[in-house]
Structure 1
Amino acid sequence: MKNTFFLFTFLLLNTIGFAQETEIKYDEKLAKSLNADEYGMKKYVFCLLKSGSNTTVSKEETKKLFEGHMANINKLAKEGKLAVAGPFMKNDRNYRGIYIFNVETVEEAKKLVETDPAIKANLLEAELTPWYCSAALQEVPKMHDKIAKTKM
């Protein structure tokens, strides 16, 4: 019993010591630069992209529209208006992808959605809703550029 208590105490103290060594300090300057609230969170707009109603576009036109779609994604990310974007894997719900806009209102996000050629052509349909998440999310595009060997 004495050995079990000693082992438990040893493990507990090591765990506490490790936790103290890895404690992350609050960075007020960073929090302010990201417009974080006291919880480190902020407002975004979540956009669910679904298959649109236009099913008569040729393969060539679809290719051209999706090239514009990708160019628009890159433009919005560089402007800091798009925190995250990406496609869904094949599914039976007609879900195609998501955008997480780095804006506070659905009205602002609607204006950004209107810049997407695939949405304008009704190949994709956008569903927008306010979302509350970590303010750090908007740092993803900068990190992604550092880890993407091939650029889109």
Structure 2
Amino acid sequence: MSTPPRPGMESLALVLLRRPAHPPALPDDEQDRVQQAHLDFLDALRKEGVMGAAGPFRDHDDEKLRGLCVYRTGLEEARRHAADDPAVQAGILEAEVITWWFRAGEIRLR
């Protein structure tokens, strides 16, 4: 984990999900299967308490930017989980994992 930019800050691991430049061309039924596996994977992480929040982006100009996952873990564990996402494994999504710093107490996840 990186060092806080200043005292009184805490962090979360964020995973930006992007559509790759050249995603695989999958048949509709396989695309649907991978999407359901992706959603089931995220739900399982929520139930384990690993995932704080996740969801798609809408109403923006960058169609490659697909969604965000907020992990309650350190950066390396978030990277491992992101790599296990069925949509990432299928090449439909790419995961960019970053640390986000904010003032302690500003963000509360259930």
Normalised to the residue count of structure 1, the TM-score between the two structures is: 0.59
* Contact 2:83–2:95 (CA under 8 A) maintained in structure 1: no
Q: Greater helix share, 1 or 2?
A: 1
Q: Does residue 22 of structure 2 align to residue 51 of structure 1?
A: no
Question: In 2, distance between residues paired with 1:66 and 1:96?
Answer: 12
Instruction: Work out whether residues 13 and 78 of structure 2, in 8 Å CA contact, stay in contact via their aligned partners in 1.
Output: yes
Q: State the structure with bigger RCO (CA 8 A, min sep 6), 1 or 2.
A: 2
CA distance in 1, matches of 2:56, 2:93: 12
How much identity, in percent, do the aligned residues show?
28
Looking at CA atoms only, which structure, 1 or 2, has the larger radius of gyration?
1
Tell me the SS of whatever aligns to 1:114. helix
Of 112, 122, 125, 2:94 maps to 125
* Corresponding letter in the other structure for 1:100: V
| Paired position in structure 2 for 1:17 | none
The amino acid of 1:137's aligned partner reads: R
Structure with more strand by fraction = 2
Q: 1:72 aligns with which of 41, 58, 69?
A: 41
For residue 113 of structure 1, give the secondary structure of its aligned residue in structure 2.
helix
Whole-angstrom CA distance in 1 between matches of 2:70 and 2:89: 18
- In structure 2, the partner of 1:32 is none
Gaps of 5+ in 1: 1-37, 140-152
Q: What is the CA RMSD across the aligned residues, in angstroms?
A: 1.9
Structure 2 gaps of 5+ residues are 1-6
- TM-score when normalising by structure 2: 0.80
Q: Give the superposition deviation at 1:135.
A: 7.0
2:68 counterpart of 1:98: yes
